[in-house]
Chain A
Amino acid sequence: MVNEKEGLSTAESLRKTRTYGQVRCHNPSCMGRLEPKSGEPTVKCPMCHMEWRVAWVKEGFPRIRGPVWDVNKRLAEEEFGRKMKEVKKDGPK
C-alpha cells in the first residue's frame, strides 16, 4: 500500500503549469496575460484597454490590486449605456 502511493498526484503534477511574473486581465472574456514591469504600479491591457493598479506580493509576484478607477469606471458606464440601448432596440433576450 505504501509503495503504491509514491507517485505524483494530479494536483502535484499540475505545478509545472504555473506561471510567474504575470497576471491575467480581470475582464472575463479577455483574461489576457499581462506582464507588468517590475515595480510598476499600473498595467493596461492591450486587448480590452482596461487599466489595473498592480500590487507586488513580493519581487516577481504581481497581483491586480484594483481598477484604475477613473478609467475603468468610464469604460463600464459607456458599455452599460451601449448594452442597455441594444436591449431596448432588440427587446429582452
Chain B
Amino acid sequence: MALNRKIAYIDLSTGKIEIKPIPLEVRRKFLGGRGLDAYLLYNHTKQGCDPLGPDNTLMVSGGILTATLASATSRCHVMAKSPLGGMLGSANMGGFFTPELAWAGFHHLVIKGKADKPVYLWIHNGKIEIRDAKNIWGKTVTDTQWAIREELGDDDIKSLVIGPAGENLVRYANVMTGIKNSGGRTGMGAVMGSKNLKAIAARGTMDIKIAYPKEALEYNKRFIDQITSAKVNQTQGTLGTPFIWGATNSWGGVRTRNFQYNQMLYADEIEPESIDENAIKTIGPYHMTGCFGCQVHCRAQYKIPTGPYAGIYDEGPEYTSQGGMSSEPDIPGLENLLVCNHLVDQWGVDNLEIGSIISWAMELYELGILTDKETEGLDLRFGNAEAFQEMLERICFRKGWLGNVLAEGGIIASEKIGKNSFDYLIQVKGVSNLHSDERATPALALNIATASRGSDHLRSRPAIDLYHLPVDVMRRIYSSPVPYDGPLSSEHTEYIGKPWQVFWHENCYMGVDCLGICKYHTTFLGATLPNFEDWSRVLYYNTGLELTPREIWDVAERSNMMERLFNLREGLTRNDLKKGDMLNHRYFDEPARRGALDVVGKVIDRKKFEKMIDELYEYKGLDQNGVPKPETLKRLGVDKEPSHLL
C-alpha cells in the first residue's frame, strides 16, 4: 500500500545506498512530501553549510497519496538549502515522475555528498543504481530525458533532470521533468548540478495497494465533480494559467518595468485568449493537456508561429512566463513570450527569477547604475526583446561579466554591482517576487513577506480574497477545521482579518504539499474546492490512515514550523531585508500608478503592515521577533528537534 513506499539515502561521495521503511509514527506527524522533507532537511543538513557544497542535502519526494486512486497526486517536491537566498530551498512540480517513483517503490530520496564525475540515478522496482552521465551532461532538458530512455531501452522511463543552467550552477536553476514541468524557485537545479547529479530516472511496476478501493473510487467521483464543476477550473481547462495573469493585469496587480508600474498597458497580444488562439492555430482545438491523474488540464500545447524559432513545439506558457518575460520587462509581443518560455524550459531555469532579474537590470541600466561597459554594448532598455533573449542566454551559460553576475541571484549581484542597486531589487529572503504587485492587496503583501521560501505566491497566498466573497461564506471556510470568530473582511484592499487568512492558507497549502495534491485542487483559486475535511476522507479511503481534518491541520502547522526552524537556524530575523519577513521599501513609498480606480494611488501602510505581522506571529505561536515560543514547539511535538527519527 501507499504507506509501504520506502525512503532511500544516497551518498554520492561514497556510493553508499541505504533503503528504509518510513515509520507510521513519522507518517502521522508529517504525512509525506514537503512536510516530511522539511523534517528531513532540518535533521540532515548542517547549520551554515555551503548550499553548493557536498554537505547540503537534497530531498526528492512524492506526497503520501502519490499514485493512489486520488486525483491530481502527481506533485513532486524537491528541497535543500537554497543557493539563492541561503535559506529554505523548496520546489514543487507536476508531471509524471513521482507516480513512477512510487511504482518503483519509493516516496522519498535523501541525496548527500557529491559525485566525482557526472552521474545519474536509475531507480527501478526497489533498486537504485548510480550510473555514469558522461553521455548526457551538457544536454538540454528534453534531450536528456530522451537520451536516458534510449540508453536504458525503455520509452516509459520518467526522469527528473537539470539543463545547462543547473550544470552551470545558476543559483536559480530548476529541476525539470517532461517538457515544461518545472521545480522552480530557490535553485534546486543548481544544488543537483553542484552534486554532479544530472538526472534521476524512474520506472516501476510495483502495485500500490489501496486500503478501501471501492470507497476510494466512489469518493473520487465526488472529488472529480467538485474539481471540474468549479468555474475557475473550467477556465483553467480552457485558457490555462494565463487567465490569472489576464485577470490580474486588468485591475492593476501586475508589476511592469520591474516595479515602476502595476499594469502592462495594451497587452492584448499576450492576453490568455490570444495565447489560446495561437494554440488552436498551431496545434488544434484539443490543445490542452494535464499531469498524471488530473481532470483540469491547465497546460496548453503550442508551436512558435513566427521568427527564427517558428514551428518549434512547447507547452505553456504559464502565467509566470507572461510575468517574467512580458510584463516585467515590458515586452508586448507574443513571439517573444513563446520563444523565451521555450528557452527557459530547455535550459532549465526559473522563468520568474530570470525575468525579474533581467527586468531589475533593465531598470538599473535606464538609471545609469549599469552602463554599456557592464552590458558589453547590449542596449538593455525595457521593451527590447532581442536584448532580453541575449541576457537569458548569457545568464544560463554564464557568458560575460553581467551574465555571470546576474546568474548569482539578486542579492549577490547587488553587492557586485554596488551603488544603490539593492534598493530596486524586488525580493524577499533573496527570492524575487512573483510578477504580481501587492500594493493594493495587503493580504497578498503579508503572504509574500512571510513565505518560508522567500517572496512567493504558493506558500500562503489567500487568492480567494480577491473575489469579494460574502463574509458568511468566508466565515464558513476560515473557521474550519480550527474555530475562528475574529474579524474577516470581503475588501481585499483592507488589512482586517488578513493575518488569519494567510495563516489558514499557509496550513492549507502545506496540507496539499504533504498529500502530493496539486494546489489547483484546493482552496487556492476557488472557494468551493476541497480542503481539510475532504482530504481526511480521501486519505483514509486510499491509505487507511485515519486523521481528522484537525489532525491534518496539525500536520501542516508542524511542518510549517519545521521550515521556520530551518530558516531561523540559517539566520532569519524579522526585519532583515535580505533574510527577514520584510518587503522592499517601494511597497511603502511608491504609489501604484495604473489599474482600477481604487488601486491607483495605493501603497502598503507600514504601521498596519507591521501590525499584521504581529498578529500572524501570534497565530503561529511565535514571539514578536518571529521565534517560536517553547510552548508552541511542545504543542506541535517538535520541541526536541533534531530528533533523527529518520
Contacts known (A26-B250, A65-B250); A10 close to B267, Cβ less than 8 A = no
Tally of chain B residues near chain A (CB < 8 A): 60
The reply to whether B493 and A28 contact each other, CB–CB distance below 8 Å, is yes
The reply to whether B596 and A11 contact each other, CB–CB distance below 8 Å, is no
A26 to B250 alpha-carbon distance, docked (Å): 7
A27 to B253 alpha-carbon distance, docked (Å): 11
Of listed A12, A20, A30, A50, residue having the most chain B CB within 10 A: A12
The reply to whether B239 and A57 contact each other, CB–CB distance below 8 Å, is yes
The reply to whether B468 and A24 contact each other, CB–CB distance below 8 Å, is yes
Asked if B476 is at the interface (CB within 8 A of a chain A CB), the reply is: yes
A29 to B531 alpha-carbon distance, docked (Å): 28
Chain A 15-56, CB-CB to B under 8 Å as 1, else 0, gives 101101000101111110000000000000000101010010
Asked if B414 is at the interface (CB within 8 A of a chain A CB), the reply is: no
Asked if B534 is at the interface (CB within 8 A of a chain A CB), the reply is: yes
The reply to whether A1 and B250 contact each other, CB–CB distance below 8 Å, is no
The reply to whether B215 and A79 contact each other, CB–CB distance below 8 Å, is no
Give, as a whole number of angstroms, the nearest-CB distance from B492 to chain A.
6
CB contact list, B183-224 vs A, under 8 A: 212, 215, 219, 222
Asked if B594 is at the interface (CB within 8 A of a chain A CB), the reply is: yes
Give, as a whole number of angstroms, the nearest-CB distance from A19 to chain B.
9
The reply to whether B601 and A79 contact each other, CB–CB distance below 8 Å, is yes
The reply to whether A28 and B491 contact each other, CB–CB distance below 8 Å, is yes
The reply to whether A80 and B593 contact each other, CB–CB distance below 8 Å, is yes
Contacts known (A15-B528, A28-B251, A67-B250); A50 close to B468, Cβ less than 8 A = no
The reply to whether B537 and A5 contact each other, CB–CB distance below 8 Å, is yes
The reply to whether A26 and B493 contact each other, CB–CB distance below 8 Å, is no
The reply to whether A28 and B599 contact each other, CB–CB distance below 8 Å, is yes
The reply to whether B601 and A14 contact each other, CB–CB distance below 8 Å, is no
The reply to whether B467 and A24 contact each other, CB–CB distance below 8 Å, is yes
Asked if B266 is at the interface (CB within 8 A of a chain A CB), the reply is: yes
Nearest chain-A residue to B549 (Cβ)? Answer: A9
Please name all residues of chain B whose beta carbon is closer than 8 Å to the beta carbon of A75 when the two chains form the complex: 597
The reply to whether A61 and B268 contact each other, CB–CB distance below 8 Å, is no
The reply to whether B597 and A12 contact each other, CB–CB distance below 8 Å, is no
The reply to whether B467 and A12 contact each other, CB–CB distance below 8 Å, is no
Contacts known (A2-B215, A28-B493, A29-B491); A50 close to B528, Cβ less than 8 A = no
Please name all residues of chain A whose beta carbon is closer than 8 Å to the beta carbon of B212 when the two chains form the complex: 2
Please name all residues of chain A whose beta carbon is closer than 8 Å to the beta carbon of B476 when the two chains form the complex: 10, 13-14
Nearest chain-A residue to B479 (Cβ)? Answer: A10
Asked if B473 is at the interface (CB within 8 A of a chain A CB), the reply is: yes
Chain B 477-493, CB-CB to A under 8 Å as 1, else 0, gives 10010000000000111
Please name all residues of chain B whose beta carbon is closer than 8 Å to the beta carbon of A66 when the two chains form the complex: 246, 249-250, 267-268, 271
Among A1, A9, A28, A69, the residue within 8 A (CB) of B440 is A28
Among B235, B272, B536, B598, the residue within 8 A (CB) of A5 is B536
Give the 10 A-B CB pairs with smallest separation, nearest first.
A83-B601, A26-B251, A9-B533, A27-B596, A31-B468, A28-B598, A5-B537, A66-B250, A29-B598, A79-B600
